[in-house]
Structure 1
């Protein structure tokens, strides 16, 4: 293990889904779900992947989990490439990378008691020695996610949505994961419950040194949990920076539009709302040049023909927009 190297590295990841048609079922088109995404996550860090529905953020999470093969790109876990890993070694990778899904009810077996749901990964990965050891570890998992031990024999339908998500988190913790991918893990919960789950994840991260890939469409949610934010649009990352910089000095017009829609606690505060025109283009036929140019209020000719690269615009701040640079590489001033 190299302490200086990120825990997870994703390099130029692409996932294109073929569309079959015709009498012979030949490939007639492709869905460019993810089209060249690069980022890393360090131990104990939370990186949030945000964007509108259909931007490809959940596909990125599933690709890291090896739920399907990649079209192109590389994924490294602790310096070891995992996107082409054989089945035997892949089993141990899955022990280190776990997932918490959006709908806690559909992700839990309704015919299994909580005891069996939490015991399953412990047994599968050979982490227990005897019934007593198993019971102690299952009870410890219940304590970690702040569920009463006497609920251990209940079925998933006997819990509330927030409690079911705690069970999902406990199951992800069971094999001793280093990285947990939270795929819209709080979007189906009420506001108060959502805050409790976010606080739980933050406490677990401090206690266990977990790394989190937090996938969400809600910037207001990620503001309270994340260290860095990667904003996605139509299969590409358009801005990546730390939380403070993103909310104070975002560069990309799409990021600013998302931020303008975030509710503010002060009802007297004024904010200029950015209304994006039109709909998100189809990932089957993405626009040429900048993929955001069909909706961008600052579009000019270069945007329609040349794709902007994700370039540095500050210390650790990357943005993919032609507006951020002028000839000579000078960064343009950001809007207030």
Structure 2
């Protein structure tokens, strides 16, 4: 089938704030405020940003674990954001999730084999008990766990092993897309690498699409095909992995990348320290939401919200007034240099020797 597997259009989630004597709505938390992207079959799109930027809420809205306020979510061209629970149920088989905390996402009273078998039984994917056991055994093999572990409980496993159980459970109904919501952030560095390698192997083997939600750009660089950068409920840059890591265009993306540790002592990277705190999502600033912390802010940034636009003829999309202002030259790097020089401000960038 042609077209993207998943398409998200102008997705919004505003959480109401209640207060006063009668619990009336006094405001809203603009957790997600107009997010759009696509994911193709067999592709990994990473959604990155600081804690609280809304990236996990995007994943939950796609699954309808949280009801979106507005926007559209399409699976193979079919809208799923407005379906009733009964109509949505068969489509849940095609989108699964791996949660951040592998222990709290597993029922401690159930054996691992029963946890993995649950979606197989719920979706009627096996005709009898023997078929269920065969499918569970095959899933244990896929996630590199011994078959005799099916009789154990979650507390008898390490964190990395529990996350493998979570991955096996997500694979059980045979999904097309798996949402990995900070799936490796609670794990040790060596275990992170093992889980990331497992996800990559499963993707190649099964043709899975992944929405990889993370704040760890060092991991993202090794697992993704494309990257979408979020700030305060909005996407500020989308690009393929190579282009984004080699030539980040948005000032916020440059700041995030400057914080990624470099193990090679011969490579020096200047750290960009952003001034001020992240504004409150209850009352986000007008115009560009990043303008209160951006070292290159100028008048349009304070009044007009920039839209995602391509850089030249590339597929790299950036929501930044600098990238769309012809007065700043051809490349965004040159634009930032010009803007910084005009303000007598130092350009904080990244350097690779």
Give the TM-score band, short-chain normalised: over 0.9
C-alpha contact (below 8 Å) 1:5/1:78 kept by paired residues: yes
What secondary structure is seen at the aligned counterpart in 1 of 2:17? strand
- Quote the Cα distance in structure 2 between the aligned partners of 1:330 and 1:277: 26
Q: Deviations over 1:35-81 (max 9, x none)?
A: 00000000000000000000000000000000122111000001110
Which segments of structure 1 move beyond 6 Å, counting only runs of 4 or more? none
Q: Aligned-pair distance for 1:332? A: 3.5
1:84-143 CA-partner distances (Å, limit 9, x unpaired): 012222111111000000000000000000110011100000001111111111100000
8 Å CA contact 1:33, 1:235 repeated in 2: yes
Runs (5+) with no aligned partner, structure 1? none
Partner of 2:337: none
Unaligned runs of 5+ in 2: 335-350
Greater alpha carbon shift after TM alignment, 174-183 vs 65-74: 65-74
Of the three residues 261, 283, 286, the one matched with 2:284 is: 286
For residue 268 of structure 1, report the CA deviation from its aligned partner: 2.4
Q: Which residue of 1 aligns with 2:15?
A: 17
- After TM superposition, give the deviation of residue 199 of structure 1 in Å: 0.1
Tell me by how many angstroms 1:325 deviates: 2.3
Instruction: Give the corresponding residue for 1:114.
Output: 112
1:226 and 1:243 in contact (8 A); partners too: yes
Do structure 1's residue 151 and structure 2's residue 149 form an aligned pair? yes
Contact 2:57 2:66 in 1 (8 A): no
Give TM-score, length-normalised by structure 2. Answer: 0.93
For residues 293-308 of structure 1, what are the structure 2 equivalents within 5 Å?
A: 293-308=291-306
CA distance in 1, matches of 2:265, 2:295: 27
Q: Partners of 1:192 and 1:257 in 2: how far apart?
A: 26
Question: 2:172: which partner in 1?
Answer: 174
Equivalent residue pairs, number: 334
The separation in 2 between residues aligned to 1:196 and 1:203, in whole angstroms, is 11
Q: Contact 1:118 / 1:171 at 8 angstroms: preserved in 2?
A: yes
**Partner in structure 2 of residue 324 of structure 1:** 323
> Which of 40, 43, 46 is equivalent to 2:41?
43
Alpha carbons 1:13, 1:38 under 8 Å: kept: yes
1:313–1:331: 8 Å Cα contact kept in structure 2? no
Greater alpha carbon shift after TM alignment, 312-321 vs 225-234: 312-321
